[in-house]
Structure 1
Amino acid sequence: LYFIDTTCAGNSSSNGTSGTNFNERINDDLSTVEENLHRLHIRIQYDDHRNDLLVNIIEAQCLPSESEELVNPYVKIYLRPPVDQKLRQTSVQPQTINPIWNEYFKFGVANETVFKTTKTLYFYIYNYAHSSRPECIGEAQIRLTPQTMHGCDLWCPINKQRA
């Protein structure tokens, strides 16, 4: 949840803040909140017995889109440095900016190498278009740590792709 400070509401206040400055602050706060609403819900777990990193792509909220249009989103998942050449991606969810996938992916990562190199999960969100190339509309990333590797439920901010 995001809260906006309204302590200086009104035309003027004891700290000299004018109503115009307050409105500017509200607009700045709202644009920050709006940017932070684009998010991806994932769950990560490392299976010590099978040497597998399990990644559950659960859902996304308020995906970036042109003019609030609905998109046909899917996610491509990469682990860097790479452990194999296998492509991992979710299914396409039709006509939504709030897709629900609840899809599972695994990466074989040997227990002895899990923390020897810094590993990062990258999530690229694409809009599938029937008549043109898929367009990357956002991305998120998570650096893996001992805490995230042993069971973590996260909402990751999605950064909009710049044209």
Structure 2
Amino acid sequence: MPGTRSGVAWSNLKGAAQDIVDSGNPPTKPQVPVTQAITTPLQNNINRKLNGFLSLRTPLIGGSGTAQTKPQNVSSVGNAGEGTAKDSANKSISMTDMYLDSNDPSENVGQIHFSLEYDFQNTTLILKVLQGKELPAKDLSGTSDPYVRVTLLPDKKHRLETKIKRRTLNPRWNETFYFEGFPIQKLQSRVLHLHVFDYDRFSRDDSIGEVFLPLCQVDFAGKQSFWKALKPPAKDKCGELLSSLCYHPSNSILTLTLIKARNLKAKDINGKSDPYVKVWLQFGDKRVEKRKTPIFTCTLNPVFNESFSFNVPWEKIRECSLDVMVMDFDNIGRNELIGRILLAGKNGSGASETKHWQDMISKPRQTVVQWHRLKPE
């Protein structure tokens, strides 16, 4: 009611006047809060660029996630990560916080030089991977065979890679990649991930170091050049696997039962994984027989309840081993290793794995159950 508001206002005014008299200070003008839009230089630059294009045409959005043909040393991705286009502003902020660079890496693993440019007319991000500097030696020759894997997080399905540069710690790649169909607003919710690997012909490629650059931090008004210190990849916990071993000397049957896993490392953008287990029976360094479990979708705590039996003579039971790999299934690209263990009597992947094998031998015909921590390599 008007009368009520007037009475309250008069009461407040009297109280304020009395406070002034008591304090002896002259009255000051009341501060009226003013709401004002705040824009950064980056936003101003982007807005100026967008005014000429958004009024003319709808930004192009490519329909596929496959690489298109470009001139030599050029690669592209059309609308990579369309399935994650619904990211909200809150998600982009949390991703930025997650991947912010540290200016004080714990270990010096070299640097990488690259440039970024945005084509507003064609809604395309242009990345040039230029060179690496002072990379660590991963080979016995005192050199490495480095290459760079490129992704735009949170999309991990679409990967691009540079060519391998042989026997060098200061590689020059000079390769260009095009990420097409990315309106600037969508691009700013992405994080550029550059991961440098050392190619290994006979085993898994070794990780050298990586860089995360939130694209909301980049001024796309012009071409930007970056030198970034590589960070050693984080060695996170991979989870645990519950398994049992049983050996029957009478019929030479070794049985491995994969019961369940817990707290597996998430490999997909939904915070889950699609785990399955791959098992190799080995004699020395020679792989003899392979088995696999079914794939379990969208879970970090799968229950496998899968048993595999192998024919192993008693005289060879101490020489053999089981390489147990928990994998993440990927529809596009290669399946990723979540973690692994090596069950063996002599050179297991840890004391727990060796003890499990020895307990199996010392207790024939008995099922020995044990939890194991998965290792990243």
| TM-score (normalised: structure 2) | 0.31
Find out whether 1:125 has 2:196 as its counterpart.
Answer: yes
Amino acid in structure 2 at the alignment position of 1:39:
Q
How far 1:36 sits from its partner (Å)? Answer: 5.4
Find out whether 1:111 has 2:184 as its counterpart.
Answer: yes
For 2:96, the equivalent position in structure 1 comes to: none
Q: Tell which has more relative contact order, 1 or 2 (C-alpha 8 A, sep 6+).
A: 1
> What is the alpha-carbon distance in structure 2 between the residues aligned to residue 135 and residue 47 of structure 1?
34
Find out whether 1:135 has 2:135 as its counterpart.
Answer: no
Is the CA contact 2:187–2:215 (under 8 Å) kept in the aligned structure 1?
A: no
- Cα deviation digits, residues 121-150 of structure 1 (max 9, x gap): 011111101111111111111111364433
The verdict on how the C-alpha distance between 1:68 and 1:138 changes in structure 2, with shifts beyond 3 A counting, is farther
Find out whether 1:77 has 2:150 as its counterpart.
Answer: yes
> What is the alpha-carbon distance in structure 2 between the residues aligned to residue 137 and residue 62 of structure 1?
11
Gaps of 5+ in 1: 1-31
Of 203, 216, 225, the match for 1:145: 216
| TM-score (normalised: structure 1) | 0.69
- Cα deviation digits, residues 103-134 of structure 1 (max 9, x gap): 0011121234233xx32101111110111111
For 1:50, the equivalent position in structure 2 comes to: 122
Is the CA contact 1:64–1:138 (under 8 Å) kept in the aligned structure 2?
A: no
The verdict on how the C-alpha distance between 1:61 and 1:87 changes in structure 2, with shifts beyond 3 A counting, is same
The verdict on how the C-alpha distance between 1:148 and 1:40 changes in structure 2, with shifts beyond 3 A counting, is farther
Is the CA contact 2:109–2:209 (under 8 Å) kept in the aligned structure 1?
A: no
Is the CA contact 2:109–2:231 (under 8 Å) kept in the aligned structure 1?
A: no
- Name the Cα RMSD after superposition: 2.7
Is the CA contact 2:150–2:194 (under 8 Å) kept in the aligned structure 1?
A: yes
Is the CA contact 2:196–2:209 (under 8 Å) kept in the aligned structure 1?
A: yes
- Cα deviation digits, residues 39-64 of structure 1 (max 9, x gap): 10000011101111111000000112
Is the CA contact 1:40–1:61 (under 8 Å) kept in the aligned structure 2?
A: yes
Amino acid in structure 2 at the alignment position of 1:138:
G
Q: How many residues align?
A: 129
Amino acid in structure 1 at the alignment position of 2:203:
S
Is the CA contact 1:44–1:148 (under 8 Å) kept in the aligned structure 2?
A: no
The verdict on how the C-alpha distance between 1:103 and 1:126 changes in structure 2, with shifts beyond 3 A counting, is same
Gaps of 5+ in 2: 1-103, 236-377
> What is the alpha-carbon distance in structure 1 between the residues aligned to residue 157 and residue 198 of structure 2?
23
